[in-house]
Chain A
Amino acid sequence: DAKTTQPNSMESNEEEPVHLPCNHSTISGTDYIHWYRQLPSQGPEYVIHGLTSNVNNRMASLAIAEDRKSSTLILHRATLRDAAVYYCILRDLNDMRFGAGTRLTVKP
């Protein structure tokens, strides 16, 4: 199974951009890169996904390396409500396999 590697934790200041990295050197050509986040005491929620091109939505941006072996989730202006565990996932057809994720702390 393709795996992802993320830092255990990161800190950010409120209203500053945050770049959350993810390495996935064993990604296959058909794997999509998904990001979910889990706020305290809640189930995970979808953030963004992409295949090859960079993607933007109202929550975040996803920058995918040209060789697809790494990606970066970008929160343009972190708020206190963005404090969560962020999971980078390689998605095949049948399931999603989560790693331990990156715990993001946002300081006021």
Chain B
Amino acid sequence: DTGVSQDPRHKITKRGQNVTFRCDPISEHNRLYWYRQTLGQGPEFLTYFQNEAQLEKSRLLSDRFSAERPKGSFSTLEIQRTEQGDSAMYLCASSFGQTNTDTQYFGPGTRLTVL
């Protein structure tokens, strides 16, 4: 399967712990996006990379959140000192292109539960 993959699929953690999620985009896709989705809502944009450069960050991305994409390949999203409000589905998407017409391909998401 050459689609977008995310790991882990599910994560349960205690409040205050740090968590890290990984996203492997479709090979050769230069753009990678992170979204957060809570129950009953559409995905909310968090940040995106073009190759290894992080080009935009949402105000939703507090200083507890950090994302990296070393060498323009896979990406990681880390949440430090998790809070119960961080419980959500975290979606990754990738695309090829540099315009607002490129198609984003989404992964299955990582569901985070903070106890």
Contact = CB atoms under 8 A, between A and B. Distances in A.
| A-B complex is real | yes
Interface in B12-69: 33, 35, 40-45, 48, 55-56, 58
Interface stretch (A17-25, A63-71, A87-95): A87-95
B104 interface: yes
A96 B41 contact: no
Contact of B106 (A31, A32, A45, A97): A45
Contacts of A93: 99-100
A43 B107 contact: yes
B55 A94 contact: yes
A99 B45 CA distance: 11
B103 A43 contact: no
Instruction: Give the interface SS of chain A, mostly helix, strand, loop or mixed.
Output: loop
A31 B99 CA distance: 11
Contacts of A43: 4, 91, 93, 106-109
Contacts of A98: 35, 42-45
Main secondary structure of the interface of B (DSSP, over half): loop
Interface size band for A: 20 to 34
Interface residues of B, number: 25
Interface in B74-108: 91, 93, 99-101, 103-108
B106 A96 contact: no
A63 B44 CA distance: 26
Most buried by B among A30, A49, A96, A101: A96
A48 to B, nearest CB: 10
B105 to A, nearest CB: 7
A31 B100 CA distance: 8
A32 B100 contact: yes
A44 B33 CA distance: 13
Interface of A: 30-32, 36, 42-46, 49, 85, 87, 91-101
Nearest 3 CB-CB pairs, A to B? A43-B106, A98-B42, A91-B100
Given A91-B100, A99-B42, 20 more contacts: A30-B100, A32-B100, A42-B106, A42-B108, A43-B91, A43-B93, A43-B108, A44-B43, A44-B93, A45-B105, A45-B106, A46-B103, A92-B100, A93-B99, A94-B56, A96-B45, A98-B35, A98-B43, A98-B45, A100-B41
